[in-house]
Amino acid sequence: MRRRISATPTRIRSGAAVLEAPDASRDDFTYGARWLGLAAQKGQHQAQALLGQMLFNGERLPRQPARGLMWLTLARDSAGPDESWIKESYNKAIAKASEEDRASALQMLEHWVQGRKD
C-alpha cells in the first residue's frame, strides 16, 4: 500500500532550502526536489515559481525551458501583489525564451488546465 504524503508548508520550505544549499548531498537534493515538485503539482505557487526558475535556467536540475516557463506562468497567475519576485522571474524567462519554448510551454499549460498534469 502506498503512503499518501502531503506537501505541507514546512516540508516545502525544507525541500526548497535543501535545493539551494551548495553542499547538499545527492540524497538531500532528491528529497528537496521531490517536495518542491509535489508542492508545485498541488498548486502551491511559490513552489511552482521556484521549480520554474530552476528548470528554465538549468539550476541544479536538467534544463527544461518550456516546462520551466509553464510552471512560471502558473505561478505568475496565482501570485499576489506582494510577490513581485514571481512576476519578475516570469518576465525574465519569457524575454529569454525561444518561440519554440513558448509554444511548448503553452501546450503544456493547456494540458495542465485540462487536468493532465504530466
Q: What pLDDT, on the 0 to 100 scale, is given for residue 6?
A: 46
> 24-74, pLDDT tens digit by residue?
555 667 777 888 899 999 999 999 999 999 999 998 788 999 999 999 999
CA distance 67 to 63: 9
Report the run of H or E that residue 71 belongs to, with start and end: helix 65-78
Residue 85 vs residue 2, higher pLDDT: 85
537534493: which residue's cell?
29
Among candidate residues 1, 38, 33, the one with its CA nearest the CA of residue 15:
33
* Total count of residues recorded for the chain: 118
Helix, strand and coil in the chain, % to nearest 5 = 70, 0, 30
Specify the pLDDT at position 59: 82
- Please identify which residue in the block is written with the cell numbers 485540462: 114
Cβ atoms of 54 and 63 closer than 8 Å: no
Lowest model confidence (mean pLDDT) among 19-23, 29-33, 84-88, 99-103: 19-23
- Cα separation, 32 vs 17, whole angstroms: 7
Q: How many Cβ atoms sit within 10 Å of the Cβ of residue 103?
A: 12
The pLDDT score that the predictor gives to residue 115 is 87
As to burial, measured by CB atoms within 10 angstroms (0-12 exposed, 13-18 middle, 19+ buried), residue 7 is buried
